[in-house]
Amino acid sequence: MNLNPFTTNTFTKIWLKHFSNDSTNILRGPFKDLQFYRTGKIPVYTNVGANHTKGISYTFDKNNSESWKNKVFLIHDVPDYFNVDTTTSEPNLGNYKVTQYPGFLIDLSPYKDLADFMGKKFSKSSRYKLNKYKKRLEASFDIRYRMFRGEISKEEFDSIFNYFRNLLEKRFNDKEITNNNLDPKEWSFYHDVTYPMILEGTAGLYVIYHGDQPIGVTLNFFSEDILFDAITVFDIDFFKFHLGSVTIMKLIEWSLENGFKTFDFSKGYFDYKTRWSSLEYPFEYHIYYDKTSFKARCIASGLKWWYEQKQNLRKKGINERFHKFTYSLKNRTKKTEKPTAYQFSDIDSAPSQDTLVRLPLKDERNQWLRPIIFDFLYLSTDTYNSIEVYQIKDQKNTFFISGNESNKLLTLN
């Protein structure tokens, strides 16, 4: 890989600013393009970027071959498909590979465009459903798509990133699970590193808009021919319209139009990745150590054992339960809101105006109605801008939905 976005000067400098306060502990080591940092007194040097990258590649630096003496080097997140050559001419430089997370990717090289990919990847019925989601979304709402790469104003970037965070918080509050990306320190890093990397062309924000409001945001990083899907989120109010699938289709389309050969979903197992991907691969941690040092051998062996145990716990789903537990601890006083139960019913004629109170959907107080109205739109041929919602006076749980194509009574159960 000639251009790895996670080893660029911009990424490494900003990462060090956020996660390492002692520049005197920075070391090159016996590898090209990698820097390492040390914390504490134990001689373990971890690659700059640690577990915040989506794929590290490296080669050995023969001109710096003595820098490993009495040391241990830990390199996070090396994708197996990078085919990193771990053989070295140094007989006393030992190494371990420890499998960690699963990764998933789509090999785009056989396809000329999105239609070609969809036709070869999915059955006719699956293609129909996926295209239906996109068509219904675009028919019901004022939808537009944009990739920000190479140019964006700081004001627009900050606005999108604010929506980005709000959507992530909304999504993971709904799942009642902790998301590490929302940790203040981690989120601050992504905010600070993404803007300059967008301007350099090594990062991008893909945004789906409803009107002027982002309803889906994906943070991407780019090598010369790989798109890395780093963080993606969509407004859960649009769940009926399968925004996640629409986002993937649009990103595949963009990738093919811009010459990318690989769409990398990165680390972590999710069902949707298995449906879309053409290859599952392991992420590995690479541990290098001085074989002649008893201390280095013990530390390297201990690291290997530690990460093997972590992976065993992941396979048993302990990490998922842990994130749910930490969420519950942080939100002990927060009242869990149950989904509103409701039903639609036909109505022969509209109620008289003097029995109705209009509820503007853009009013913050009426935001709870959005997923219900979006459900209505998915089942009808009306558009969002044509919908009016009224509460029927003296009937707390009964509402009238008026559209250009259909009218319904909404009853809360």
Does residue 235 lie within any of the structural domains? yes
Q: Are residues 356 and 404 both part of a single domain?
A: yes
Question: Is residue 179 situated within a structural domain?
Answer: yes
Are residues 88 and 62 both part of a single domain? yes
Separation of alpha carbons 326 and 409, rounded Å: 41
pLDDT confidence of residue 333: 61
Asked if 123 and 151 sit in the same domain, the reply is: yes
- Where does residue 25 fall: left (phi above 0), alpha (psi -120 to 50 degrees), or beta otherwise? alpha
CA atoms within 13 A on the CB side of 44: 18
Question: Comparing C-alpha atoms, which of 84, 94, 26, 93 is closest to residue 59?
Answer: 84
Q: What is the DSSP letter of 180?
A: G
* pLDDT computed for residue 10 by the predictor: 97
Please indicate, yes or no, whether residues 285 and 159 belong to a single structural domain of this protein. Answer: no
Contact in structure between 372 and 403 (CB atoms under 8 Å): no
Please check whether residue 73 is in contact with residue 289, taking contact to mean a CB–CB distance below 8 angstroms.
Answer: yes
In this structure, are 186 and 242 located in the same domain?
Answer: yes
CATH number, domain of 126, equals 3.40.630.30
Sign of CA dihedral 193, 47, 2, 65: positive
- Structure confidence at residue 65 (pLDDT): 65
Residues 313 and 397 in one domain: no
Question: In the chain, which stretches have pLDDT less than 50?
Answer: none
Interatomic CA distance for residues 44 and 38, integer angstroms: 6
Number of domains in the chain: 3
Q: Are residues 120 and 204 in the same domain?
A: yes
pTM for the complete prediction? Answer: 0.91
Structural domain contains residue 266 = no
* Residues 313 and 387 occupy one common structural domain: no
Same domain, 123 and 219: yes
pLDDT at 308: 94
Q: Does one domain contain both 316 and 371?
A: no
Q: Give the domain range for residue 353.
A: 342-412
Q: Do 120 and 250 belong to one domain?
A: yes
